[in-house]
Structure 1
Amino acid sequence: MRPVGSPTPAPAIRPRRRPDLTLPLPQRDPALAVPLPLPPPSSTAMGTPPIASGQPLPTPSLSDLERVRRIGSGSGGTVWMVRHRTTGRIYAMKVIYGNHEESVRRQICREIEILRTADNPFVVRCHGMYDQAGEIQVLLEYMDGGSLEGHRITSERFLADVARQVLSGLAYLHRQKIVHRDIKPSNLLINGARQVKIADFGVGRILAQTMDPCNSAVGTIAYMSPERINTDLNHGIYDGYAGDIWSFGLSILEFYLGRFAFGDNLGRQGDWASLMCAICYSNPPEAPQTASSEFRSFIACCLQKDPARRLTAVQLLQHPFITHQSSSSSSSAAVIPHP
Structure 2
Amino acid sequence: MSSSSASSIKEANLQFVKIISNSQRAIIRQLRDRCTGEFHAVKEFVDRPISAIGRLQIYRENEYLRDSNSPFIVKHRGNFGEGDEFKIVLEYVDGSNIGSCGPIPEPTLSRYAHQILQGLNYLHSKRIVHGDVNPENILINGEDQVKICGLGNSKKLPGETVTFERWKGTSYGYRCPDKLREYPCDGYASDIWGFGMTILHGHIGRHPIMGPYANQNPELMYQLYVWEEKQRPLTREDSSEDFKKFISHCMHKEPSDRWKPIKLLEHAFITKHQDGNNAQHLNDQNPHEEPSSSSHTAQ
Q: Which residue of 2 aligns with 1:310?
A: 258
> 2:235 touches 2:244 (CA, 8 Å); kept in 1?
yes
Which residue of 172, 184, 192 corresponds with 1:221? 172
> 1:95 touches 1:135 (CA, 8 Å); kept in 2?
yes
Identity %: 32
Q: Name whichever of 301-310 and 289-298 sits farther off.
A: 289-298
Distance in 2, matches of 1:268 and 1:218, equals 24
Q: Which residue of 1 aligns with 2:145?
A: 195
Structure 1 residue ranges, 4+ long, deviating more than 6 angstroms after superposition? none
Distance in 1, matches of 2:150 and 2:171, equals 13
Report how far residue 286 of structure 1 moved: 3.5
- Which structure 2 residues correspond to residues 133-172 of structure 1 after superposition, within 5 A? 134-172=84-122
Change (3 A) 1:286 1:57: farther
Report how far residue 301 of structure 1 moved: 0.8
Report how far residue 203 of structure 1 moved: 5.5
Task: Say yes or no: does 1:244 pair with 2:191.
Answer: yes
Task: Say yes or no: does 1:297 pair with 2:245.
Answer: yes
CA shift digits 1:107-166 (9 cap, x unpaired): 643552232111111111123333358333221111110212232144211110011011
Gaps of 5+ in 1: 1-55, 207-216, 330-339
Question: Which amino acid in structure 2 is aligned with residue 249 of structure 1?
Answer: G
> 1:223 touches 1:250 (CA, 8 Å); kept in 2?
yes
Structure with greater proportional helix content: 2
Change (3 A) 1:204 1:68: farther
Report how far residue 59 of structure 1 moved: 5.8
Change (3 A) 1:268 1:310: farther
Change (3 A) 1:239 1:57: farther
Q: Normalization by structure 1: what TM-score?
A: 0.68
Q: Name whichever of 272-281 and 305-314 sits farther off.
A: 272-281
Report how far residue 289 of structure 1 moved: 4.2
Q: Normalization by structure 2: what TM-score?
A: 0.77
Change (3 A) 1:318 1:60: same
Distance in 2, matches of 1:118 and 1:174, equals 12
Distance in 2, matches of 1:220 and 1:103, equals 17
Report how far residue 106 of structure 1 moved: 5.9
The count of residues paired between Structure 1 and Structure 2 equals: 260
Report how far residue 321 of structure 1 moved: 0.7
Change (3 A) 1:227 1:117: same
> 2:40 touches 2:92 (CA, 8 Å); kept in 1?
yes
Question: Which amino acid in structure 2 is aligned with residue 193 of structure 1?
Answer: E
Report how far residue 240 of structure 1 moved: 0.8
> 1:266 touches 1:275 (CA, 8 Å); kept in 2?
no
Which secondary structure does the structure 2 equivalent of 1:228 belong to? helix
> 2:192 touches 2:250 (CA, 8 Å); kept in 1?
yes
- Which structure 2 residues correspond to residues 1-339 of structure 1 after superposition, within 5 A? 58=7, 60-98=9-47, 99-101=49-51, 105=55, 108-109=58-59, 111-131=61-81, 134-202=84-152, 220-231=171-182, 236-266=183-213, 268-270=215-217, 272-281=219-228, 283=231, 285-327=233-275
Report how far residue 65 of structure 1 moved: 1.7
Distance in 2, matches of 1:237 and 1:197, equals 29
> 1:124 touches 1:141 (CA, 8 Å); kept in 2?
yes
Distance in 1, matches of 2:114 and 2:103, equals 14
Change (3 A) 1:182 1:65: same
Gaps of 5+ in 2: 157-167, 278-299
> 2:20 touches 2:28 (CA, 8 Å); kept in 1?
yes
Report how far residue 310 of structure 1 moved: 0.8
Distance in 2, matches of 1:175 and 1:110, equals 17
Change (3 A) 1:59 1:188: farther
Distance in 1, matches of 2:33 and 2:194, equals 35
Distance in 1, matches of 2:257 and 2:57, equals 34
CA RMSD, 1 decimal: 2.9
